[in-house]
Amino acid sequence: MLTVGLTGGIGAGKSTVVRLLAEHGAVVVDADLVAREVVAPGTPGLAAVAAEFGGAVLAPDGSLDRPALADVVFRDPERLAALNAIVHPLVAERAAALQSAAPAGSVVVHDVPLLAENGLADRYDVVVVVDVPEEIQLDRLTRLRGMSEEEARGRMAAQADRADRLAVADVVVRNTGSTGELAARVAQVWRDLIGRLGARGPDHR
Ligand code: ATP
């Protein structure tokens, strides 16, 4: 098995790259999805969040009221740390379980938007960063996602700098060209990953 942590700034093209890698045969673990699953209604994770933050972060139907929780942790690093202390271990445990369920010899790609921000690079055999200059990020977020320029700049500013993300990369996918060029680059990256997997020898799970 080869584990890959894939990251990139908002709108850089992570989902597109993950989809292409899945088409080549990668097993995908989506951290955002896992983070939602571990606080779904009825989970111990949601109970722990409600115990820490009170009933005000629950919607009337008992599910997590994300905007209410975001209001509480936004601009309060201590509350955010308390939330992360609950959620991060649960996410790590579930992601590890999904990874161990993958067949031997798989390339398992973890789609982790906040990999650099949360210092998670060491958890993976290979870190792939999808990279675009900020002007392109801004253009895609405003033109293709309908965000205002202010909103797009705000979201980008809340994330790691491009340089900090590139600093943890083993492989960089520059997504400045067409979608066809991106597909060609991902095919190359897939061959590289398969090569790294092969280099580990047949006995390595
Ligand atoms: P988020 O951080 O919001 O999850 P993301 O990094 O997963 O975003 P994508 O959703 O893959 O990014 O891409 C953002 C937008 O840019 C999408 O609308 C996608 O179709 C488009 N896009 C991605 N790559 C290219 C490209 N090379 N050329 C043109 N459009 C692209």
State the total domains in the chain: 2
Q: Is 5 touching ligand 1 by the criterion CB < 6 Å?
A: no
CA of 159 to the centre of ligand 1 (A): 16
Residues 52 and 68 in one domain: yes
Residues 120 and 183 in one domain: yes
Q: Which amino acid is at 87?
A: V
Looking at residue 202, its pLDDT comes to 67
Q: Report the C-alpha gap between 183 and 15 in whole angstroms.
A: 13
The last residue of a domain, from among 44, 79, 103: 103
Q: Which amino acid is at 88?
A: H
Q: Which domain holds residue 88?
A: 27-103
- 20 in a structural domain: no
Question: In the chain, where do the E strands start and end?
Answer: 2-8, 27-30, 107-111, 126-131, 171-174
- The secondary element (H helix, E strand) that includes residue 3 is strand 2-8
Q: Which amino acid is at 99?
A: Q
133 and 176 in contact (C-beta within 8 Å)?
yes
Looking at residue 205, its pLDDT comes to 61
- 21 in a structural domain: no
Q: Is 12 annotated as a binding residue?
A: yes
Chain segment 44-97, per-residue pLDDT in tens: 999 999 999 999 999 999 999 999 999 999 889 999 999 999 999 999 999 999
Q: Is 179 touching ligand 1 by the criterion CB < 6 Å?
A: yes
Q: Is 13 annotated as a binding residue?
A: yes
CATH number at residue 164: 3.40.50.300
The last residue of a domain, from among 56, 83, 103: 103
CA of 11 to the centre of ligand 1 (A): 5
- Which ligand 1 atom is the nearest neighbour of the CA of 111? 7
Q: Is 45 touching ligand 1 by the criterion CB < 6 Å?
A: no
Q: Report the C-alpha gap between 1 and 7 in whole angstroms.
A: 19
- Which ligand 1 atom is the nearest neighbour of the CA of 19? 11
- 143 in a structural domain: yes
Residues 96 and 47 in one domain: yes
169 and 129 in contact (C-beta within 8 Å)?
yes
- 204 in a structural domain: no
Residues 54 and 134 in one domain: no
Residues 98 and 112 in one domain: no
Whole-number percent of the chain with pLDDT over 90: 95
Residues 111 and 193 in one domain: yes
As a dihedral over the C-alpha atoms of residue 148, residue 152, residue 158, residue 163, rounded to 10 degrees, the angle is: -160
The complex's ipTM works out to: 0.96
15 and 23 in contact (C-beta within 8 Å)?
no
pLDDT at 181 over 90: yes
Residues 7 and 48 in one domain: no
In 3D space, the residue among 112, 113, 136 whose CA is nearest the CA of residue 124 turns out to be: 112
| CA-proximal residue: ligand 1, atom 11 (nearest) | 13
- pLDDT band of residue 198 (cuts 50, 70, 90) is very high
The reported pTM is 0.91
Residues 125 and 189 in one domain: yes
Q: Is 11 annotated as a binding residue?
A: yes
